[in-house]
């Protein structure tokens, strides 16, 4: 995959914008998912994920092709998500928790449109709960938890993406897991 | 009761799949005997399983199109270039039609008339253009709907459209001689000319996106 990506990047560097579309196709789901789990809101996630790809395009000449493109785009997206979380005003936060906004909306929509079996309904509710609990984590724990358990990346990749020593990543992972344990123990 | 902190650390090392074998043995032995740590470990694994169980979400439709539309515009020439490279003939043909477009028929009609390139030392008799013996005509000669007689020297290409050319024994042409007769050939001739200049346009452009 990295070979294909590198040849597309070379085309982009020569000025072929269309080649970039193929790169976006390859990574869009992963990056969107990362943003969605980090931000807890589809609309914002789409915004930030698109922004990440646009930034990557603009700065593509500074990408070192000996490294993994995936780590690079993850890094851009992660930083944008963290920025967005920090800039969120408290009232915006409250808004996001109110029923009728994205996450809950999605749940209630699916629930009302189709008559789901009991257990699937429960699983949807559970998903909502888990998403909310992830969103409660401080952003530095949230980041490593999402990268590890949702994006399924190794600790080494995470350390590369976040530009942090492996030891720091582990410490954050431990604290993140402990926080989640507290939050989810009674679910 | 309170257990040493190391057991919780071992639990996390275990979950990170980075635990020394002796530590793992120690942890397992402890979990057999300590209810509190066993519960702690179960809760950790449950929390991880919950996070992992969240459904995978996909990017919305038109995500890529949205990104592409928001990118800074690439230089026009690059776009044009790519298109020409992918469709060289089509590009030439459509560019030709674009340029000649609506006027193609009137152009054709107009070109039914006798005409020729205007070098000063050419002689004209009726519908025949003559390159006189002993004369050197510089530049390309084009004769439409007429004849061309070459008795002297032409330093350039010779093109006769809808006509004929005769070369005397003393006649000499340094460039290419071509005769174009039917309407189709006439169009073909223009397409080739357009294609040539198109290729030149493309080759002259080696720009990248870098500033
Ligand atoms: Zn214990």
The 10s digit of each residue's pLDDT in A66-75 is 999 999 999 9
**Residues shown for chain B:** 211
Report if residue A110 sits inside a domain: no
**Are A82 and A146 in the same domain?**
no
> By three-state DSSP, how is residue B54 classified?
coil
User: Which of A52-61, A104-113, B52-61 tops mean pLDDT?
Assistant: A52-61
Residue B184 banded pLDDT, cuts 50, 70, 90:
low
Flag whether residue A167 sits within 8 Å of chain B, measured between CB atoms.
no
Q: Do residues A33 and A54 make contact, with C-beta atoms less than 8 angstroms apart?
A: no
With cut-offs at 50, 70 and 90, classify the pLDDT of residue B108. low
Q: Which of A88, A104, A137 is the last residue of a domain?
A: A88
Same domain, A122 and A69: no
Tell me: do A11 and A78 sit in the same domain: yes
Chain B residues within an 8 Å CB radius of A103: none
Domain boundary among A71, A88, A105: A88
**Number of separate domains in chain A:** 2
Lowest mean pLDDT among A52-66, A112-126, B173-187: A112-126
Residues A121, A41: one domain? no
Do residue A77 and residue A138 come from a single domain? no
Report yes or no on A106 lying in a domain: no
> What ipTM was predicted for this assembly?
0.82
Give the integer Cα–Cα distance in Å for A8 and A18: 9
Quick check: is A173 in a domain?
yes
The answer on A176 and A135 residing in a single domain is: yes
What are the distances in angstroms from CA B160 to CA A34, B103, B180?
69, 22, 6
Residues A80, A124, single domain; the answer is: no
B208 pLDDT band (50/70/90 cuts)? very low
Q: How distant, in Å, are the alpha carbons of B21, B27, B55, B163 from that of B153? A: 96, 102, 83, 20
Please report residues of A whose CB lies closer than 8 A to that of B62: none
Q: Is the residue at A8 inside a domain?
A: yes
Distance CA A73, CA A106 (A): 27
The rounded distance, in Å, linking the Cα atoms of B195 and B209 is: 26
Query: How far does the CA of residue B58 sit from the closest CA of chain A (Å)?
Result: 5
How far is A25 from chain B, CA to nearest CA, in Å?
Answer: 6
Q: Do B71 and A20 touch (CB under 8 A)?
A: yes
| Within-domain flag for A95 | no
Q: Tell whether B120 is within 8 A of chain A (Cβ).
A: no
A16: in domain: yes
Are residues A9 and A66 located together in one domain of the fold? Answer: yes
Chain B neighbours among A 42-71 (CB < 8 Å)?
A: 42, 46, 49-50, 53-54, 57-58, 60-61
Confidence at residue B103, expressed as pLDDT on a 0 to 100 scale: 55
Strand B153-155 and strand B123-125: the pairing is unpaired
Assess whether pLDDT exceeds 60 at residue B72. yes
User: Does residue A78 sit in the same domain as residue A121?
Assistant: no
- 8 Å CB contact of A46 and B59: yes
**Alpha carbon of A89: minimum distance to chain B alpha carbons (Å):** 26
User: A77 and A125: one domain?
Assistant: no
Return the minimum-mean-pLDDT range out of B115-119, B128-132, B201-205.
Answer: B201-205
**CATH number for the domain harbouring residue A65:** 1.10.1740.10
Assign residue A125 the CATH number of its domain: 1.10.10.10
* B64 reaches A (C-beta below 8 A): yes
Residue A112 domain-assigned (yes or no): no
- Give the predicted TM-score (pTM) of the model: 0.61
- Residues 13-42 on A with a CB inside 8 Å of B are 13-18, 20-21, 24-25, 28-29, 31-33, 36-37, 42
A84 plus A1 within the same structural domain: yes
Q: What's the domain range around A53?
A: 1-88
């Amino acid at each position: 995959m990295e070979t294909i990506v590198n040849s597309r990047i070379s085309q982009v560097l020569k000025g072929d914008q269309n080649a970039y579309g193929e790169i976006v196709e390859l990574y869009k789901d992963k990056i969107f998912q990362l943003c969605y789990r980090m931000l807890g809101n589809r609309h914002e996630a789409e915004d930030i994920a698109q922004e990440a790809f646009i930034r990557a395009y603009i700065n593509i000449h500074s990408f070192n092709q000996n490294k993994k493109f995936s780590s690079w785009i993850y890094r851009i997206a992660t930083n944008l998500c963290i920025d967005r979380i920090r800039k969120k005003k408290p009232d915006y936060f409250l808004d996001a928790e109110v029923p009728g906004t994205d996450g809950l909306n999605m749940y209630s929509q699916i629930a009302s449109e189709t008559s789901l079996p009991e257990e699937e309904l429960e699983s949807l509710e559970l998903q909502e709960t888990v998403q909310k609990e992830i969103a409660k984590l401080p952003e530095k724990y949230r980041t490593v938890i999402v990268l590890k358990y949702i994006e399924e990346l190794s600790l080494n990749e995470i350390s590369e993406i976040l530009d942090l020593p492996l030891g720091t990543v582990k410490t954050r992972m431990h604290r993140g897991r402990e926080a989640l344990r507290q939050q989810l123990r009674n679910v | 009761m309170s257990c040493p902190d190391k057991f919780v650390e071992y639990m996390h090392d275990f979950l990170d799949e980075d635990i020394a074998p002796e530590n793992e043995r120690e942890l397992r032995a402890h979990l057999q005997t300590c209810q509190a740590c066993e519960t702690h470990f179960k809760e950790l694994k449950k929390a991880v399983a919950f996070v992992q169980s969240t459904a995978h979400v996909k990017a919305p439709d038109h995500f890529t199109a949205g990104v592409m539309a928001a990118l800074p515009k690439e230089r026009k020439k690059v776009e044009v270039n790519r298109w020409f490279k992918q469709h060289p003939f089509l590009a030439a043909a459509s560019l030709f039609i674009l340029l000649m477009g609506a006027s193609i028929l009137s152009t054709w009609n107009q070109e039914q008339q006798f005409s020729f390139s205007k070098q000063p030392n050419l002689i004209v008799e009726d519908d025949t253009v003559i390159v006189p013996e002993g004369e050197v005509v510089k530049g390309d000669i084009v004769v439409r709907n007429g004849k061309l007689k070459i008795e002297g020297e032409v330093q350039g290409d010779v093109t006769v459209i809808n006509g004929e050319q005769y070369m005397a024994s003393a006649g000499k042409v340094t460039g290419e001689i071509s005769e174009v007769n039917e309407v189709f050939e006439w169009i073909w001739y223009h397409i080739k000319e357009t294609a040539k200049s198109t290729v030149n346009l493309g080759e002259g452009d080696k720009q990248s996106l870098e500033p």
